[in-house]
Chains A and B, each alone.
Chain A
C-alpha cells in the first residue's frame, strides 16, 4: 500500500481516549430468516472517524440504522450522546446527521433548494447562510443552481453529505459514502470527510473498501457475519498480525530451479513463501515479520546462487491480510453493486442490501 494518508498531514488524529459519544452493548437484530447482528459491543469516541468495515451482508448497515433509529434492535442498548437511541429517538434525530446508502434526494429541486429545505426541517436559524457554507464545504458552489438530475453520482453523494451536516450534528453517519464512485471522486470525497471531522463532527461510516478504511478511519470495527471480529486503529489491527509485510522479487536472470521454498523459509523473519517458477519472469514472494532481515537475507541468497533479482518490493501488510487472518477467508474484492455480489464466498445466502 503506497498511498499516503491525507489525515496524517492535514489534521492530527484526536487523543486516543476521548470520551465515548456512542455506546453500544449486546446489540442484536433478527429478521425472519436469519440474524443480521449477533450481539455486538462498540464505543465510538468523540471527534473520531470511526469505520465499520466488512463484506456485504456483514451487518454494517443494519447496525448503523439501529443507531440512527431507522430499525429497532431486538436486544441490547444504544446510547447516543447520553440519549437512548430508541426511547429518545426524537432528540437523537435532531443531533445526528445521516447519509443513507441510496442518495435519497428529492427530484426536480436544485442543490441549493434541497439544502435549504433540509435546513427548514431542522429549523436552522440562517438557512441561506448555512446552505452557502455547506455547498462550499462539499465543493458544490458552482452546482448550487443545478437540478439533482443534472449532478453526477459523486456530486449527488457530496450533496447527501451536505444534507447530513445541515443541523451541525454532533455525529454524522455515512453509509458507504463512496460506493459507485470513480477513484478520483472517491479521493475528493475522502477529503470532504476529513474536512467534516476537522470541523469537530464525529463521523461514523461504513465501507467495504479496505483501502478507504485504512486511509480515513481513526479506528475500525471489522464486521463479519453479524459480529465485530476486531476493533482497533488500522495500525493496531495490522500490528496484531503475525507478519507485517510481504516481500516479493522477480528473478531477472539465473536458474530458478536452484532455489527451493525451504531456502526462502530459512531466511530470518519469513513465515510463509511461494515461488512461481512458471511465471515470466519467475517470482518469489514471502510473508515476513521482519522486513529488513528478510530483504538482506534474500539478497545474500541470490548472490550465493548467482541469481539476479529484479523488481524487489516490500509491501506493508494491509487490512486485507487482517481480514484473512481473522476469518480464514480472503476478502473478496467486491464490485460497486452492493445487492448482487454478496454471496461470492459461498458460505452465506443473503438477499438485499443489509450491509
Chain B
C-alpha cells in the first residue's frame, strides 16, 4: 500500500510539473471559458422565436400580448401540430401550448432538445414572462416539470462541455503520450524488474489522473462562477460521479492508444486524430442539433458526446441520474472495452519482441 501511495504521489508531481500538460489541461480550457464567456455575455440575448398554440383563453391572450410588446420575442401563432412541426424544424426556439379557459391543466412548454444556448436561454426568459403574467391572473398554474431550465445563461451551457474537453485532453493525450514515453525510455522494463506490480503502476496513474481531473474541474467551475456567475443546478455528487465516469473512459481510450503506438510521436498523432473531431462533434462548442443530418451517425459514435451529456444534463438542467444513466453506462462500457484492449496489446518494450 505504501508503494502504491508513493507511486500516486509521484504521478501527481510528474503531471503538475509538466508545464505542457498543465497548459492543455488547465490553461487551454480556462482561456476558452474567458474568451467565449466574453463574446457571448456581451451580445446579450438573441431574439427568440416562440410558437403559441392550444386553446384560446384570457391567459393565452395576456401572455401573447406581453411577448408581442417585448423586443426579444418573435411571436407566431398556429395549431399545436403546426407549431410542433416548426419546432422540430428548428424554426421555433420554444412552443407554448395553452389549456382551455378555466381548465386546471398546466401550460405546457416545449423546447427543442437540440436548442443549445438559444433554446436554453429562451426557456428561462419565456418562463419569466409567463410567471409575470400569471401573477396578475388568478387560478393559473404552470407545469413546472415542463419548464425545466430557469434563467440559464450561455456559460451554464458551455462550461459542462469545456469540462468534458479538458478531461478528454488530459485523459487521451496525457495518458497516451506519457505511457508511451515511459515505455520508450525503458521505464516500464525498469518497473518490471522491481517487485512493484504492473497493475499497481497503471492503477496509480488512473488514481492520480482522477484526482487531478477533479481538481482541474473544480478550478474551471470556480473560474466560471467567479467571472461569469455560473449556476449549477444538479446534485453535486451526481456531477462528481459524471466527472469520474468521463475521466475514466477517456483514460481508458488513452491506454488503448498507448498500446498500439510504437513511439511518442505516433501516440501523439493518434491521440490528436481521435480528440480533434471529438472536440467539435460532441457538443462542446455547438449544440448537436445544429449539425447537419449526415453528420449525426458520426456524432453518435463520439465517446465524448455521452460524456458531455452526462455533465450537461445535471449541471445545466438539474436532471437526476434517470436522465443520464444511459450515458454513464456507455462510458462504463467504453472504459471496460478500451482497458481490455490496452491489456491485450500491452507491451513492456519499445521493440516488438
28 contacts between A and B (CB under 8 A): A68-B193, A69-B193, A70-B189, A93-B194, A96-B193, A98-B193, A101-B186, A102-B185, A104-B185, A104-B187, A104-B190, A106-B10, A106-B14, A106-B187, A108-B17, A109-B10, A109-B14, A113-B10, A113-B13, A116-B6, A118-B194, A120-B6, A121-B7, A121-B195, A121-B196, A122-B194, A122-B195, A123-B2
A328 touches B (CB below 8 Å): no
A105 CA / B186 CA spacing, docked (Å): 8
A31 touches B (CB below 8 Å): yes
| Given A94-B195, A109-B13, A113-B10: A123 in contact with B3 (beta carbons within 8 A) | yes
B191-206 to A contact mask, C-beta < 8 Å, 1/0? 1111110000000000
B43 touches A (CB below 8 Å): no
B351 touches A (CB below 8 Å): yes
Closest to B178 in A: A107
Chain B residues positioned under 8 Å from A93 (CB to CB): 193-195
Chain A nearest CB from B352 CB (Å) reads 10
A94 CA / B3 CA spacing, docked (Å): 14
A117 touches B (CB below 8 Å): yes
B20-41 to A contact mask, C-beta < 8 Å, 1/0? 0000000000000000000000
Chain B residues positioned under 8 Å from A98 (CB to CB): 190, 193
Closest to B3 in A: A120
A150-193 to B contact mask, C-beta < 8 Å, 1/0? 00000000000001000000000000000000000000000000
Contact A100 B10 (CB under 8 A): no
A6 touches B (CB below 8 Å): no
A90 touches B (CB below 8 Å): yes
Number of A-B contacts (CB under 8 A): 73
The majority secondary structure among interface residues of chain B is helix
A352 touches B (CB below 8 Å): yes
Chain A residues positioned under 8 Å from B13 (CB to CB): 108-109, 113
A116 CA / B190 CA spacing, docked (Å): 15
Interface size class of chain B, counting residues whose CB lies under 8 Å from the partner chain: 20 to 34
Interface residues of A (CB under 8 A from B): 31, 68-70, 90, 93-94, 96, 98, 100-109, 113, 116-118, 120-123, 147, 163, 352
Chain B residues positioned under 8 Å from A116 (CB to CB): 6
Chain A residues positioned under 8 Å from B344 (CB to CB): none
| Given A31-B353, A117-B10: A105 in contact with B193 (beta carbons within 8 A) | no
Known interface pairs A70-B189, A102-B185; 19 further A-B residue pairs with C-beta atoms within 8 A, sorted by A's residue number: A68-B193, A70-B192, A93-B194, A94-B195, A98-B190, A98-B193, A100-B189, A103-B185, A104-B186, A104-B187, A105-B187, A106-B10, A108-B13, A108-B18, A118-B194, A120-B2, A120-B6, A121-B7, A352-B351
Contact B195 A90 (CB under 8 A): yes
Chain A residues positioned under 8 Å from B348 (CB to CB): 70
Chain A residues positioned under 8 Å from B2 (CB to CB): 120, 123
Chain B nearest CB from A155 CB (Å) reads 16
A104 CA / B17 CA spacing, docked (Å): 18
Chain A residues positioned under 8 Å from B189 (CB to CB): 70, 100, 104
Q: Which of A96, A108, A352 has the most CB of B within 10 A?
A: A108
Chain B residues positioned under 8 Å from A96 (CB to CB): 193
List the 5 closest pairs (A to B, CB-CB), nearest first.
A120-B6, A104-B186, A102-B186, A104-B190, A108-B17
A108 CA / B185 CA spacing, docked (Å): 14
A123 CA / B196 CA spacing, docked (Å): 10
